[in-house]
Structure 1
Amino acid sequence: MHINSIGQGPDLVLVHGWSMHSGVWSPLLELLSEHFRCHVIDLPGHGQSDWHEGDFELSTLLAKLAEALPEKAIWLGWSLGGQVSLAMAKHYPEKVKKLILLASNPRFVQTEDWPCAMAADVFETFSSSLAEDQQQTLQRFIMLQAKGAEQPRQVIKQLSEQLAQQHVPEPAALQAGLKCLAEWDLRDALATVNCPTQMILAENDHLIPFSLAEYVQKLQPKLRIDVMPGLGHAPFISQPQQCQLVIEQFIHE
């Protein structure tokens, strides 16, 4: 698994979301690396990381991350990366000093008892389209991430450029990542997490509904929730300085 480390200071691990790679963090990384030793990961089959069948099995993925990354780091995960980071805090608590879940849902797809997520039929339609036309589906996903942002064209441009700069994600890795989003249920991990935890939600996120705040607060009363107004699913691209401020306020508490 490819990991790049940059900067000086306390260890901070950054985990990207589905279909992207570590380069997506560039606007925020430039700011955070002034104060932290940032470790940016390419998940299996993404960016510069190789793909092997089974790499997204949760126990396998967590074991590889635990081996490669320092003890007592701060973990920052975006979307699918937030789920990975939350699972890390549950299964390897010695690795996670503080946890930041950025535009991330412990249960990505709706169930009867978890309405604050993506509708199952919408998710299934999206998954089916990936098999039919990967390039078009990835572009559609970029547009979904930009929807709701103050400057959606800027977000689309930056996400598209980042996607183009690296190898196209392995089709099998994309399908495996969607399977994770469909099946992983990390609500118990959030309810029992024992390190300081922050959730950052974007007011206009079309993938992670703002109504999630009420549900996760019931699961984990100690959870700190910060809302970024007027932004979509990738707030660290739209407003990197604002995002940095929210993150560092939590870290320095």
Structure 2
Amino acid sequence: MSALTASQRPRLVLIHGWAQHAGIWQVWRDRLAPIADVTAVDLPGHGGKPWKNAIRSLDALADSVLPALEQPAALGGWSLGGMIAMNLARRHPSRVSRLVLCNTTPRFVAGHDWLHAVQPSLVEGFRRRVSENPERVLRDFLSLQLRGESDSRQTLTLLRSALTDQNRPRAAALEFTLSLLAQTDLRDELAAIAPPTLVIASDGDAITPLAAGEYLARQLPDARLLTVTGCGHAGFLSRPERLSPGIDEFLGGDSVQEMAS
């Protein structure tokens, strides 16, 4: 891949997933450095950013990312971060030029009309326990992320290295975002999300299954699905070499339809 001049380089803003922080994107920042200006943000209560008790909704949480979108940019997100990215693209379309959705979903918990998700009891159990024993909850969630990985040791190392003591998420932020994941359903909003979208999904994901990514790719107005095989919930992290060509093409293109033509 050849480097681009400053005037040619697209901007990409990245949002991490639940209980993580901006450092989880370092592999992507390194790989995309020749062709894009990449910024990774911390959500409130994660990484180096303090928690704000005034945040009480998905809109408010998403708005914490707006300072990174003063100029229009491509916006990417993993899991919870992808849900936030979709919220921003719908409410602030002039700020989001395109979307990259990694292992995400319009609805995190299962219901009678939505089976491509974890059970509500799992998320509620995490929420009840997270204030008393956050370390145990994080370990349990880490185990879920590793399901479906053909090389779980490498992925485990990457995920653990991102969660150093100084980057531990605040318990209040974890409890709030778990409640948010249990309540949020974006399915009725997908048709209003206009930017070209690259949906990245893994065939072994036990948290946001491949079927959820397939649903997004069908329901979003301008979307393409990129499936990563032999991976779990962190496929973007464990197999970046498989994703780089598709992401390079997407960031430099005009629309998903043009990529497919």
Give the C-alpha shift of residue 209 in structure 1: 1.3
Matched, 1:27 2:27: yes
Q: Deviations over 1:130-161 (max 9, x none)?
A: 23411011012112112211210111111111
Deviates more, 1:74-83 or 1:25-34: 25-34
Cα deviation 1:32-58 (Å, max 9, x = unaligned):
122111111010000011111033523
| Structure 2 runs not aligned, ≥5 long | 254-261
Residue 85 of structure 1 deviates from its aligned partner by 0.3
What does residue 95 of structure 1 align with? Answer: 95
Residues 12 and 37, structure 1, Cα contact 8 Å, conserved in 2: yes
Distance 1:102 1:185 in 2: 17
1:4 counterpart residue number: none
Cα shift readout 1:133-191 (whole Å, capped 9, x = no counterpart): 11011012112112211210111111111101633211000111111111111112322
Cross-structure match for 2:138: 138
Match of 2:258 in 1: none
User: How far apart are the structure 2 equivalents of 1:61 and 1:110?
Assistant: 23
- Which shifted more, 86-95 or 151-160? 151-160
**Structure 1 counterpart of 2:45:** 45
Contact 2:44–2:64 at 8 Å: present in 1 too?
no
CA distance in 2, matches of 1:221, 1:59: 22
Identity %: 34
CA distance in 1, matches of 2:177, 2:122: 16
Match of 1:190 in 2: 190
Check the 8 A contact 1:27/1:236 in 2, yes or no: no
- Mapped partners of 2:234, 2:108: distance in 1: 16
Q: What amino acid sits opposite 1:204 in the alignment? A: G
Distance 1:227 1:146 in 2: 17
Q: CA deviation at 1:121?
A: 2.1
Aligned length: 247
User: Do the aligned partners of residues 93 and 131 (structure 1) sit closer, same or farther apart at CA in structure 2, a change above 3 Å counting?
Assistant: same
SS at match of 1:118: coil
Q: CA contact under 8 A between 2:78 and 2:103: conserved in structure 1?
A: yes
Aligned-partner Cα distance in 1 for 2:246–2:165: 28
SS at match of 2:225: strand
Over the residues paired in the alignment, what is the CA RMSD in angstroms?
Answer: 1.9
Alignment correspondent of 2:154: 154
Question: Which structure 2 residues correspond to residues 1-253 of structure 1 after superposition, within 5 A?
Answer: 9-55=9-55, 57-164=57-164, 166-220=166-220, 222-253=222-253
Alignment CA distance shift 1:137-1:244 (3 Å): same
Distance 1:58 1:86 in 2: 11
Structure 1 runs, 4 residues or longer, greater than 6 Å off: none
TM-score of the two chains, using structure 2 as the length reference: 0.88
What one-letter code is carried by the residue in structure 2 that aligns with 1:102?
C
Change (3 A) 1:28 1:187: same
1:80-124, Cα deviation, whole Å (9 max, x unpaired): 000010000000001100011100001111122211111112222
CA contact (8 A) 1:108 1:117 kept: yes
